[in-house]
Amino acid sequence: MKRLYAALFFCLLTAGCNKTSVESSSPPAIPIDPDKAVVVVQKPIYIERGDFIEKQNAHSSRGLTEWFFHCYPEFLYTVAPKPLAANAVTITITKVTLTISCPVTVRVGKDADLRQTEEHENGHVEIVKEIYANAGNVAKEACRSAIGKQYSATGTSTAEATAAAVDLAARDVCKKYTEKTVFVVNEVSKNYDDITRHGYAKIPVPDAIKLAKARFEKSVH
């Protein structure tokens, strides 16, 4: 009952979004306060049952759980008055608004032992729920790291260079966010599948989750 590893989606803030990052007309007059310059919008976790895709992988004849940690940052920033070179800019981040969400889809095969399979897949869901419950704090930490930070980029125009610099900021923030969310969920879930032999082992789900988390903690210390 292998699950699809979590995927990261972040918005390139120069296109394809409802909102865009905004350039400040002048540098902030007072030192930037990271706590006031960070806004995190954490949407409730969304869990649904999806259609099953037969024979997707070696274990998917029984069940599959997919999760996605979405990361959509917006920025306020200033642009250095003197470019490093033609069509080169350096931006300084003054505020980050980060929207995060986590949709989860559980799929169960028609030939599966329904109760046993659902119990196993629900174990994956519990792992995701536990990590996402603290995702807001992780997101704030990732955003704070960008406040006051400079990002430089070049392009065929000043606008393109600015967009590239904003993209670097977005990738930086989302990388820090996913290192403590997506990575953790994936590793704990891999341990959970190993311990339960993808649902075949006779071990209670809560116990398997505890062992999976303990194995992960040991691996990172």
pLDDT digits (tens, 9 = 90+) for 149-181: 999 999 898 899 999 999 999 999 999 999 999
How sure is the predictor about 212, in pLDDT bands with cuts at 50, 70 and 90? very high
Question: Residue 82: what pLDDT?
Answer: 65
Count of structural domains within the chain:
1
pLDDT tens track for 13-62: 322 233 345 544 444 444 467 678 999 999 999 999 887 766 555 555 57
C-alpha distances in Å from residue 134, one per residue of 25, 66, 130, 141, 195 = 35, 19, 7, 11, 25
Q: What pLDDT is stored for residue 60 in this prediction?
A: 54
Task: Tell me which of 137 and 157 has the higher pLDDT.
Answer: 137
Compute how many other C-beta atoms are within 10 angstroms of the C-beta atom of residue 8. 15
- Mean pLDDT in residue range 81-99: 86
Going by C-alpha positions, the residue among 83, 24, 72 that lies closest to residue 169 is: 72
At 29 the pLDDT is 40
Contacts of 106 (CB under 8 A, 6+ apart): 47, 48, 49, 50, 63, 64, 65, 118, 121, 122, 124, 125
Nearest to 102 by CA among 127, 132, 143: 132
**What pLDDT was estimated at residue 135?**
98
User: Mean pLDDT over all residues of the chain?
Assistant: 83
Place of tokens 């174990």: 123
pLDDT in the model for residue 35: 72
199: left (phi over 0), alpha (psi -120 to 50) or beta: left
| Domain span at 41 | 4-219
- The pair of structure tokens assigned to 119 is 């119990």
